[in-house]
Structure 1
């Protein structure tokens, strides 16, 4: 099979599952923003940013290490077994540490009376760390359909539990007082049900993956583990730094914004609007799931570097189409969050572009993973964190959450440039830099022009911007000479009819 078609096919499967899953999950965003005030949603945003960081720590680059070493053996079971035992051990140690420091942690997060939030999130993290490797095994084996199905089940369970506790139980409580619903539901628990739903869905994930786990005879290969840890430790740094670059602003924003300006309110506004970049996030997530095992498997092919170059160009083009689409139809996208949060819509273009550059950075990262120079990836990622910290400290106290949006875009833009320059030295790939820059300039120019179209009627505004999106797509099709390919597809469909 054409490698680009194979990658595209798997990306579509991962993407469809992610899109469907996130659409179900996104039904919760208007629910959360309508039920909880920004201050409460700010607590959720703050805690979940720590969860994202800790999950990276608890998996410590084992997924990439597994792909790298399992590709060198026929079945990869020895690598899987060794990595899986390691993850179980460290997850148990993590839960013991959390139990020992539960009270100080509750004080640190400013939820001293809600220790259960931390317990639920810690258990969820342990479960997610344990199931990370079985999910990676499915990706390596190209079992994208099973992977997607399990993820959809996870999201469906999460959605159902949220609706049950946040909507159905309060409705029963208010309309049918004779039903003792308070046996299983506490009206004071509030945002705690968000964390409970995540925990239960993660537990069900583990149950559904048990069949795949039990097929492998678990045995620890200490020598192999040392090799994997040496390879993966810089990947851990890269992953932590990458996650910090995405989440650090939400973690430190309450500390940087003066108390008089209601820091948790601003964090809630920022967190809700950040989620409006969901389509870009889904695209990048689907691409990452399929691309990492793909480029390892393609490394030995003669034309692999040209394939990598083509992948990056088309990735950027599709990402820019998503950027323009979200911005041109933001009046529709914004209905996902309550109108109380709309004051933060100004961050959306910066967040979209930041996520796009994050995806480019991930695509470029193949150079240090394939050459076993993962330490360089760690160096670049650390530079990104320094940029994020410095810019947030400088800008957030002045511009509030807009300063955080400026910072995240600047961070990913700079580390993308650094990774490209370093990669061309150690593992040169013939990327079409001129073409990529052309499309970036074209998209940003079209977006700048669109800002002058601001009729009061939102439908008229979107109608006026649609031709600009079509213009970008036509230029793309014409420049890449895709008319003949599209003509063949149309001809095939006509013959079938």
Structure 2
């Protein structure tokens, strides 16, 4: 019974952070529709659709694979964590750099001419998400539900803070003359840019916190572990892409 209560409690904590995040993000639509143009919102949904697909590619099922190999293969969980995190860091550097360099081409192909910076920021957002994936999975593995949920909620609150500051706060302060036009490089002609920047800032700021709590890892790429992990994760990659579709 005690194990059941523990499981129920942790499920409630994880569920609360997920539901709260989705609810708050949904409410942000009110802000976006009030302060941004239809064209900006169209750009927002298109880019985040791309991020949804690319998130699966950047993590390629390694969160679930980490759980499986850290608990069910008679392996040292710390060794599995170090190997998985090292693998994700390596692949993230490669994929993130590739997407960053392809940003001008993507901007032209996807009809964002002159806005290559949007795809550079997208590459950074995807990279930060990938770098957080395995540490968050380790927190769940170690039953650190409260910290996991707290970090997720803190990330959401940071995102909201930056959204409100950049989309609502700065324009208002500029309009009443409290701060000058161009304060800290602020551009009044940007819209969706500030949604992406808010996401980027929020994710970047919690990386040190989550990595610290997840614990130290040594950079190692052990082929004896990586090979079976690849075989396990590949079907998960295609299942994830199907799910996002």
Q: Which sections of structure 1, spanning at least 5 residues, go unmatched? A: 245-497
Contact 2:100 2:119 in 1 (8 A): no
Report how far residue 136 of structure 1 moved: 0.5
Whether the 8 Å contact between 2:97 and 2:123 is mirrored in structure 1 is no
Task: Give the whole-Å Cα distance in 1 for the aligned partners of 2:192 and 2:217.
Answer: 39
Residue segments in structure 2 that go unaligned for 5+ positions in a row: none
- The 8 Å contact of residues 162 and 193 in structure 1, kept in 2 or not, is answered as yes
Q: Is the 8 A contact 1:95 1:126 kept in 2?
A: yes
The Cα shift of 1:22 comes to 3.4
How big is the shift at 1:3? 5.6
Say whether residues 1:240 and 2:230 are aligned partners.
no
Corresponding residue for residue 64 of structure 2: 64
Partner of 1:27: 27
**CA deviations over 1:338-396 (Å, ceiling 9, x no partner):** xxxxxxxxxxxxxxxxxxxxxxxxxxxxxxxxxxxxxxxxxxxxxxxxxxxxxxxxxxx
In 1, Cα distance between equivalents of 2:66 and 2:100:
30
CA contact (8 A) 2:139 2:214 kept: no
Please, what TM-score do these two structures have when normalized by structure 2? 0.92
Q: Is 1:22–1:155's contact at 8 Å kept on the other side of the alignment?
A: no
Q: 1:181 to 1:207 in 2, by over 3 A?
A: farther
Partner Cα distance (2:55, 2:41) in 1? 21
Aligned residue in 1 for 2:167:
166
Larger Rg: 1
Shift in Å, 1:75: 5.0
TM-score (ref. length: structure 1): 0.47
Structure with larger RCO (C-alpha < 8 A, sep 6+): 2
Aligned to 1:98: 99
Deviation for aligned residue 1:211: 1.2
Q: Which residue of 2 aligns with 1:208?
A: 209
Partner Cα distance (1:163, 1:225) in 2: 43
User: Which stretch of structure 1 is more off in the superposition, 44-53 or 108-117?
Assistant: 108-117
Counterpart check, 1:182 vs 2:182: yes
How far residue 181 of structure 1 moved from its aligned partner, in angstroms, is 4.5
- Residue 213 of structure 1 and its aligned partner are, at CA, apart by 4.8
Once the two structures are TM-superposed, the CA of residue 2 in structure 1 deviates from its matched residue by: 5.8
- In the alignment, is the contact (CA less than 8 A) between 2:93 and 2:127 conserved in 1? yes
Provide the rounded CA distance (Å) in 2 between the counterparts of 1:64 and 1:90.
Answer: 17
1:139 positional shift: 0.9
1:201 deviates by 0.7
> What does 1:316-327 align with in structure 2 at a 5 Å threshold?
none
Task: Name the CA distance, whole Å, in 1 between partners of 2:181 and 2:154.
Answer: 26
CA contact (8 A) 2:173 2:179 kept: yes
2:42 maps to 1:45: no
Distance of 1:61 and 1:95 partners within structure 2: 17
**C-alpha offsets along residues 108-127 of structure 1, whole Å, 9 cap, x if unaligned?**
22111222211111101001
Residues 62 and 232, structure 1, Cα contact 8 Å, conserved in 2: yes
> Who is 1:10 aligned against?
10
Alpha-carbon contact 1:10-1:144 (below 8 Å) kept: yes
Q: Secondary structure at the match of 1:217?
A: coil
Q: CA deviation at 1:23?
A: 3.8
CA contact (8 A) 1:162 1:197 kept: yes
Q: Distance in 1 between matches of 2:209 and 2:92?
A: 19
1:112 maps to which residue? 113
SS in 2 for 1:27: helix
**Deviation of the 1:7 alpha carbon:** 3.5
Does structure 2 conserve the Cα–Cα contact (< 8 Å) formed by 1:102 and 1:118?
Answer: yes
Cα distance in 2 for residues equivalent to 1:179 and 1:36: 21
Residue 214 of structure 1, CA deviation: 4.6
Asked if the contact 1:172–1:179 (Cα under 8 Å) also holds between the matched residues in 2, the reply is: yes
CA contact (8 A) 2:96 2:124 kept: yes
**Cα displacement string for residues 232-284 of structure 1 (whole angstroms, at most 9, x for unaligned residues):** 1111111111112xxxxxxxxxxxxxxxxxxxxxxxxxxxxxxxxxxxxxxxx
**SS, match of residue 91 in structure 2:** helix
Question: CA 1:238/1:3 → structure 2, altered by over 3 Å: closer, same or farther?
Answer: farther
Structure 1 segment 334-413 matched on structure 2, within 5 A: none
1:152 maps onto 2:153 in alignment: yes
